[in-house]
Amino acid sequence: MRDTMRNLSAGRQREKMSRGSITLFVSLLLLVLLGLILAGLKSMRQAAARATVASALEQGLYSVFAQYDRELFEDYGLLFLDGGYGASGLRLDEVLRETETWSEYILDPTKNNLTGGGNLLSIRLNRENCSMTGYVLATDQENTAFRRQVCEQMKLQAGAELLKKMSEGVFQNGEKAEELERQAGTYRTENAQAYYDRDVAEGLCRPVPSAEQSGDGAEEASAEEIAEGFGGNVVPVWENPLLSYQLLRGRGLLKLVFGEGESGLSRKSVSAGELLSGREHSLGMGMTPSEWEGPMEKILIQEFLIEDFPCFSDKDQQKPLAYQAEYAIGGRRNDRDNLKVVLSKMQVLRAASNMAFLMTDPDKRAQADLLAAGISAGLLNPELAPVLAFAIRVAWAYGESILDLQVLTRGGKVPLVKTAESWQLSIENLGRFTSAADGERKSSAAGLEYRDYLRILLLGEGTKKLTERIMDLTELNIRTHEGKENFHLDHCIDAVSVEIGASVGTNTYTAERSYGYDM
């Protein structure tokens, strides 16, 4: 009996010991699990903190870059952050302050939240660790960011197919214009006799008699008799086209093209200090601006100018300069000089084209030879006819080019290559150009208009210079808006890189992000 009781007692003790060991094991196991859970929570909190800091920085940058300059976007479709914030200097501190302000809404969920919103992962911004590590301005590395945005805007606006057709047409006209100028450059005064001999060989005029053929009585013959021998008539001195040509050249191009309307031309001007190209630029740091990676950069920039900036054919422009496309070509600081530069270049192009036509058209060649014969006969020096014939063609091409400019500036069209149908100035009116111009002038439906000739001239301008002058105009025009008097393109930010720090307890986390309008 005693043994039985002893055995029962031992069994109970063993059972208690067994139960205690299980409790201890479970407790130890729970302790390990709790440590794992706490470690996991800490790891999750750290990961969440890192993600929160990164998200907060991105939120701040997105919010800052959403404050792009509205006037610049509405007028030209360009996205830049005005780093001047209305002041005359670049305010990077304000960019950082805005970034921090908008980041706090992620870093501190209770910010401006009346119902609280805090949680275990709430962290607070450590402003001391917020800094800008790099930024790109519109003017950095020869205006790379500005050029890229212009190209992107024009491609988006016009479409790839339209741009391709447009560029093909512009380049074709440009190549044709270059060929006309090269061809006209081959026609020289020293070859006048050869040109005359060619016309004689083709039966367009009679050969010039030598002194021996003229005989001793040549000086006693009347001018009418000598001219009759050449099949022409004497031209009165006051209608001599060569004298008229000299008088025309002395009047000035603007007076020839506009006549009495010259006084109505714009006299607006700007000072060198008002232009971006006239001062030192602010410089970015630590970042390389993204470049335009597509084709046709120059054509896109050229079309941006033509489409978004006024030229002479656009009336009543309330801009600092009225003839802005002309400024991109002329580079002068007043409208009259810029218009004169452009019209001078157009006149050279038109005169070259006209000269090429006069030298190849049989009918016009015969008319010039006949008139030269009449003038040389009137001077009792028929051997001057070859030189006079060439000089008449030069004067004729010049007079026709002035008519061309009059047509273009009045909204008409002039073909790049003339035909007999599109020719305006008759040889009979060459000596009295001024009085006969109104009756001779006409527009050609199939020709090019003033803007088309601007496009041809712009092909001769370098991309760098063209971009600089467009930026001058952009800055001038934006400053006309209320509150934008201190606008500077070299203060406009295209991209920034910011590093920010935040702390949770004793742990500090940092994040660095780059953001810009090219991303």
The 8-class DSSP code of residue 206 comes to: P
Flag the least confident range among 59-73, 285-299, 454-468: 285-299
Mean pLDDT (whole number) for 53-77: 92
Top-confidence residue, 42 or 195: 195
For the beta carbon of residue 46, count every other beta carbon within 10 angstroms: 14
pLDDT in tens, 419-458: 999 999 988 888 777 777 788 889 998 899 999 999 999 9
pLDDT in tens, 391-425: 889 889 999 999 999 999 999 999 999 999 999 99
Q: Which two tokens stand for residue 450?
A: 């003033």
- CA-based max dimension of the chain: 182
Confidence tier at 138 by pLDDT (50, 70, 90):
very high
Quick check: helix, strand or coil at residue 118?
A: coil
Quick check: helix, strand or coil at residue 124?
A: strand
Contacts of 219 (CB under 8 A, 6+ apart): 380
pLDDT in tens, 26-40: 778 888 888 888 877
Exposure string for 449-462, b = 16+ CB within 10 A, e = fewer: ebebbbbbbbbebe
> Token match 């760098």: residue?
464
Flag the least confident range among 3-7, 50-54, 285-289, 364-368: 3-7
Q: What do you get for the CA distance between the two ends of the chain, in Å?
A: 93
Q: Which amino acid is at 434?
A: T
pLDDT at 6 over 50: yes
pLDDT at 361: 93
Full DSSP string of 259-301: GGGGGGS---B--GGGSGGGSPPP--BS--PPPP-SS-HHHHH
> What values do phi and psi take at 334, rounded to 5?
-140, 155
pLDDT at 160: 66
Element (H, E) at 337: helix 335-360
Mean pLDDT (whole number) for 151-180: 81
Confidence tier at 495 by pLDDT (50, 70, 90):
very high
pLDDT in tens, 226-283: 445 444 444 444 356 777 777 777 788 999 999 888 888 999 999 988 999 988 999 9
CA angle 58, 62, 63 (to 5 degrees): 115
pLDDT at 117: 55
124-137 and 81-82 beta bridge pairing: unpaired
Assess contact for 140 and 518: CB atoms under 8 A: no
Share of the chain above pLDDT 90, in %: 41
Share of the chain above pLDDT 70, in %: 84
Confidence tier at 215 by pLDDT (50, 70, 90):
very low
pLDDT at 310 over 60: yes
Confidence tier at 11 by pLDDT (50, 70, 90):
low
> What values do phi and psi take at 204, rounded to 5?
-85, -20
Q: Name the nearest CA neighbour of 99 among 503, 506, 493.
A: 493
Full DSSP string of 44-81: HHHHHHHHHHHHHHHHHHHHHHTT--HHHHHHH----E
pLDDT at 230: 44
**Domain ranges (residues) in the chain:** 2-140+493-516, 159-264+295-478
Flag the least confident range among 67-71, 125-129, 211-215, 288-292: 211-215
The 8-class DSSP code of residue 500 comes to: E
Contacts 24+ apart (CB under 8 A), 428-431: 430/241, 430/244, 430/371, 430/392, 430/395, 430/396, 430/399, 431/235, 431/238, 431/239, 431/240, 431/241, 431/243, 431/244
CA angle 185, 203, 189 (to 5 degrees): 25
CA angle 194, 196, 201 (to 5 degrees): 95
pLDDT at 235: 46
Read off the pTM: 0.84
Q: What is the mean pLDDT of the chain?
A: 83
Top-confidence residue, 114 or 441: 441
pLDDT at 217: 43
